[in-house]
Amino acid sequence: MILTITMNPSVDISYPLNTLHINDINRVANVRKTAGGKGLNVTRGVKFSGIEVLASGIVGGTTGEYIQKQLDSDNIYYHFYVTKHESRNCIAILHEGNQTEILESGPTLGQKEVDAFLAHYQTLMDKAKVMTISGSLPQGFPVDFYATLIQIANKKGIPVLLDSSGKMLLATLVSEHKPYLIKPNKDELQQIIQMDIDVNDTASLIKAVDHPLLNAIPYIIISLGKNGAFARCYQQYYQVSIPKINVVNPVGSGDVTLAGLAVSIHENESIETMLKRAMTMGMLNAMESQTGFVNMHNYDDYFQQVIVNQIY
């Protein structure tokens, strides 16, 4: 089973507009509301792949109840720690080929919730073969909290795939407790390693993934958007190219990409298959209007179009 952790889930609200009128009224006919947060998009991606998955994290209030009801309707298993504090909403305005996001910070929690979640988390360990951790932390949680979760998982021999950024990612990377895989995009990685990355220069990409902060992490996957990805898998380097697609809604594509990586690790697939699966899942999500949705009928066709070249 794959366990997905979403510490700060949300109700994701998508507003598609032909034109966003600033300082004026914008009426939206086709509003979509989904149980969101990066980790829940990962959860859906795993479920579409046919692998048993369990979602966990912290939810609360009427928004938290809505999240759980949405997961019930999607037949997704979950076991959250429930708090009285209200979970958050996140709004994406899709307009003129752009995406403008308005993200609530979510509840502020304290040491009581930190300790309670850790106790809850311990009860889930025996069920997991692979684990993903995605997104932000609730306000009030220590910035190195993900390192604590990874430490517990590592003791159980559970590989952890981490998709976070900024101070939370840095706090994990400087810790002695390392994730099995990270999946930053170019900008997120540049911020962490304080180094410019030229996506068209293989030497620059290799230098980035070989940064001392990343040495102890077996898998580094750099998301490059329409340019695919660059990966270091142990001491081997891979360039991944993807076909041109019609992007409808890119929200959640990185999360579904992580789902593909988790599924491949769960199934002990080859590195080439893992990278092709991950890119295919991300593309299929971007081609749909619904966040975190994948039409698996198109999977084989696009899987064959992903090209993986080993550099060294």
pLDDT of residue 99: 83
* Domain ranges for the chain: 2-310
* % of residues, the chain, pLDDT over 70: 100
Average pLDDT over residues 258-263: 98
pLDDT of residue 281: 98
Number of other residues whose CB lies within 10 A of the CB of residue 82: 16
Provide the mean pLDDT of the chain: 95
pLDDT in tens, 64-89: 999 999 999 999 999 999 999 999 99
Residue whose tokens read 């009030």:
140
Helices within the chain (DSSP H only): 38-48, 61-73, 111-122, 145-155, 166-173, 186-193, 202-209, 253-266, 271-286, 299-303
pLDDT-based confidence at 97, cuts 50/70/90?
confident
Question: Helices 271-286 and 38-48, interaxial angle, to 10°?
Answer: 110
Domain spanning 2-310: CATH 3.40.718.10: no
Number of other residues whose CB lies within 10 A of the CB of residue 115: 10
What SS3 class is residue 21? coil
What SS3 class is residue 155? helix
CA–CA gap between residue 38 and residue 6 (Å, rounded): 7
pLDDT in tens, 29-42: 989 888 988 999 99
pLDDT in tens, 273-284: 999 999 999 999
